[in-house]
Each structure stands twice: as C-alpha cells, then as structure tokens.
Structure 1
Amino acid sequence: MRVWRRPVNPARRPSESEAAPFASHPNLRSRPPPYLSIALIILGAILLIGYLRIGQDALGSRLSLGWVQDCNMLYLGVIAARPISQSLKIDKAVGDVLCSEEVQRAIPILKAAYGDSMHKVLHVGPDACSTVSRLLIEEESDAWGVEPYDIEDADWKCKRMVQSGLVRVADIKFLLPYRAKSFSLVIVSDALDYLSPKYLNRTIPELARVSSSGLIIFTGYPRNVKAKANRYGNSVKLRSANWWGGYFDHLSLEENEDMTKKFDQAAEKMSHIPHCQIFHLKPYN
C-alpha cells in the first residue's frame, strides 16, 4: 500500500508552532550555497596540482645539483672508486685548471720524495688556504701560502689565516714579501698558466729565490690551442712540457732529476696518476 505525502499549499503560511521546529535546527541557516562547495573543490584541485608540479621541479633541481656536486667531489679525490679516465673526461669538458687540488692529493708523495725538505713549505696559487691547512694537518709541516687573487668570497677560516699572516694575498708578478731562501720548498700551482712570458721572466726567478731546496711547479696539460679564461677573467693557454723545458733553460733553472725520479717512484707505489704536469727544479745557488 503506497503512502503519499499530503500536498502542501504553497500559499499557506506555517503557524508559529509549525515553524519553530525548523527554526531551531542550526544547519538550515548555516548551510552554504552549493556553488561555494564546488568552488572550494576546484581550488583544492588546483593547489594539489601545483604542489605536485613544484615537487617534481624540486626533485629535478636536486638531481641536477647532486650531479654538479658529484663532479666537484670527483676533482677533490673524495670519490676514489671512480676511474681516473672518467675524471679526466670531465676535466676536459669543463676546461678548468685544478692543479691546486692535485697538490693536495700529492702531499704524501711529496713527503716520500723530499723527506725532511718538507719541513718548511710555501704554496703559491689559488686555494692556498686549503693547501696550507692540509700541509699543517697531514704532514705537520710549517707551511705558508700566497694567494694571487682576491679572497673576498673566501670563508672565515681563510680570512683568519690571512689576518694571522699565515697566508698572504699578493700579486706574484712583483717581488714576493720574503727574504732569499726563506723556505725549504716552494710549490706553485694554477698561477703560472695565466702569466705571459713577460711576467714569467720575473715571477719564476722570484719563486726560486725564496727556496733553499727546490721549486715544484704544477701546471695544466695543454688540451687545445684556444685561450680560455679562468673565473677571475684571466686568459690561459696551457703549455707543453717541451715549452716549459725550454723556458727553464732560458731562466738558467735546472731540472732536479733525482727528485723527479723519487717522486715518480713514490707515485707509482701509491698508484697515483697525476692530472697535471709536475716539474721539479733546483734552486738558484
């Protein structure tokens, strides 16, 4: 038996007794219109899509940043498991001269070759603060540095080393602020590649002047004939071993064959493959 609701006359106004139950229900007056709910749903969907897209972009950025950091760590020798050939390929692609980092990798080999001559060392070149710190910690040597470029962006540790006089900022195209034979060894890296022969005639004899036992020069391998620029805007044209050999003869600097042989033997024993050209020179008498 179907029960039908009694039709309501729309013209009939409810009495107070009939209207009171409905008026007392809180949801009837506070219920929002349906289009507001639809708008909120659409807005939530837009925010969700934007969040997902931002998350994907952030993930891509982290992956790209991770790749760049991985390459930098490779140059520092932190990722020892990677083959040397891969490191050389990346170095070719970037075209940077990073022999100052090569100096830090070669400190144990230099110690094996030079022995007690490592007791008082001067490092000349970019990142001198890091190299001096490594020498002080690993080899317990007395070490100083000359930074040939501005260190405005250096960290507070490096600036403190400069303030203490452990590292000096100086233009190596002019006289160095040291007396003759002030150091047993002078190591230079990533600095001579950016100098023309005009300034090399002055700088290399200065480096040899302040050394009592020897001068060690780390320089990049020539990979092309086009001049490049480093981060300081200086152009660089990497030179061959024959070019450097002729230039050392021009400056009356002799190769230290004994130290060269000892260094090569120590490098082979430690499975070290140099990424830079290394020249061992005798000081001036």
Structure 2
Amino acid sequence: MSRRQVGSTRRFVDTGSFPFAGSLHSKSRSSPLLSIGLILVGAALLICLAYGGSGIFGGNKIAVSKVEGDFLCTSEVQRAIPLLKKAYGDSMRKVLHVGPDTCSVVSTLLQEEETEAWGVEPYDIEDADASCKGLVRKGLVRVADIKFPLPYRPKSFSLVVVSDALDYLSPKYLNKTLPDLARVSSEGIVVFTGFPGRQRAKVAELSKFGRPAKMRSSSWWIRFFLQMSLEENESAGKKFEQAASKKSYEPNCQIFHLKSYH
C-alpha cells in the first residue's frame, strides 16, 4: 500500500500533473539548482502526507492494517493488551507471543513499561519489513515450526500468548504443541482462537499454512484442555472480563485463560 503511494507521487512529477511542475520547468534554465531543490521539497512533503500516521512514515499504522487484514486473532491480541495487563499485572513482565505476524505484537508489547517481549513466527518471513527482520537479528523473534519443541528452557516466560496458530494444527500436533507452550510458561497461557463459522482462511493463505484453519467450538477446546491437564485460570479470566466490561470490549476471537504446569 505504501509503495503504491510513493509511486503515484513520482508519476505526478513526471507527467506534469503536479500543480507546480510547469513553473519549475520554465525556470529550470535560469536556476536549475533552485528547481531541483523545490522539486525535492515538494516530493518530500507529498511522501510525508502519503505515509502520515504515528511513528516515522506511519509505520505503526501500516503494520496494524496488515495484521487486521490477514490475521484476525493476532490483531485481537493487540487490542487486548491493556486488558491483559489489568488481568495479569506482574505476569506481563516477560511475554512470549506465538503466531503469525508476531513482529507486530512484539513491537507493541515492547512499548509497554516494564514489559519484555519475544515472539515465535511459525511461518516464513521472507516478505517481512525491515523492522521485523531487525527483531529477528536481535533474537527477539524466532522463526520456528511449532509442531516441534520450542527452543526455550522450561518456565522461560511468565506469560505465553498464542494466536492464529493452533487453528491450523491437527489434534495430532496439538497434543504436542500445547503442552510445550505450557512448559515454557511460568504463570499462564492465553489462547486466542477463531469462532466456528465466523473466520475462514483465505485461498491465498492455504498454501502458506499447508491446511485450512479449523475453527473449533469453546466446548471442544475446554475438553481438549482438560485432556492436556491444563486448568482454567479463573482469577485471570474474571479480571479480564471485568476490564473488558469497563472498556465495552467485545472480542472477535475466543479467548481462553489457562494455568501453567506446576
């Protein structure tokens, strides 16, 4: 989206449709340096407008819009961060997010005071932006197949948040992945998963994920959690609901609060 905007700015200048292009051209013989300078200033102003938003060149706005369009529950995590802080308090000290486009979640969490954040991206990030690749270079984000044990020691993180990832796993792999998420958490796990019949994977995503998402009911998940000996974190769940009520927050995904293994 941003690249198209930059391209259109260049076309305005090249074709003469830019309002001041004619006058600049007429003065180019007498003062070529002045003309070039004015063109650069005008182009810079248009680029700033095109990229307007929070942060340099509106980078945050672009990241959020991408998340909302592709990964609904990952977007939901970002919306829910203030509520998670109310529900978990000190447990938000060291957070691991697991799911596609985790760079956007990690970037948001790192802006929170007294919060350290890491991410696991289950899929390829060749198309990731420079900011995301920077998080990978720093070791804050890892690309890892969550069908296999995560490269972290037990209880490495106080809270583990997972979104848009478990829906693509069959029960065969869920039986291994979910206990592993519990293994690396010390104080809780929060699972964001799609509602049955409300969210479906786009055709373009099927080849990326290897299989269509399977949206399961809350009763299915509750039975599965019990089979994995994962207990509901009732205290955190109630605090989350209270905070959500005050904010008139209505989630677009199912949210489950679970206790870690002890």
TM-score normalised per structure 1: 0.65
Distance 2:123 2:220 in 1: 25
Cα shift at 1:254: 0.4
227 and 183 in structure 1: CA distance in 2 versus 1, 3 angstrom threshold: closer
Q: Give the aligned residue type for 1:201.
A: N
Cα shift at 1:237: 1.3
Local SS of the residue matching 1:211: coil
Indicate which of 153, 157, 160 corresponds to 2:134: 160
Cα shift at 1:180: 0.2
208 and 140 in structure 1: CA distance in 2 versus 1, 3 angstrom threshold: same
Counting only pairs closer than 5 Å after superposition, residues 65-214 of structure 1 correspond to structure 2 as 76=64, 97-214=71-188
154 and 212 in structure 1: CA distance in 2 versus 1, 3 angstrom threshold: same
**Highest Rg: 1 or 2?**
1
Distance 2:123 2:112 in 1: 25
Task: Tell me, yes or no, if structure 1 residue 261 matches structure 2 residue 238.
Answer: yes
Cα shift at 1:250: 0.8
Poorly superposed stretches of 4+, deviation over 2 Å: 224-230
What do residues 256-275 of structure 1 show as CA deviations (whole Å, max 9, x unaligned)? Answer: 11111110000111121111
2:190 corresponds to = 216
Aligned residue pair count: 199
Q: Give the aligned residue type for 2:123.
A: Y
2:257 corresponds to = 280
145 and 230 in structure 1: CA distance in 2 versus 1, 3 angstrom threshold: farther
Cα shift at 1:225: 10
Distance 1:241 1:168 in 2: 30
Distance 2:200 2:129 in 1: 33
127 and 226 in structure 1: CA distance in 2 versus 1, 3 angstrom threshold: closer
TM-score normalised per structure 2: 0.71
Cα shift at 1:226: 8.2
Root mean square deviation of aligned Cα: 2.5
- In structure 1, stretches of 5+ residues that fail to align are 1-50, 52-72, 78-90
- In structure 2, stretches of 5+ residues that fail to align are 1-14, 16-60
Q: Give the aligned residue type for 1:255.
A: E
Q: Give the aligned residue type for 2:230.
A: L
Cα shift at 1:138: 2.9
Distance 2:191 2:200 in 1: 22
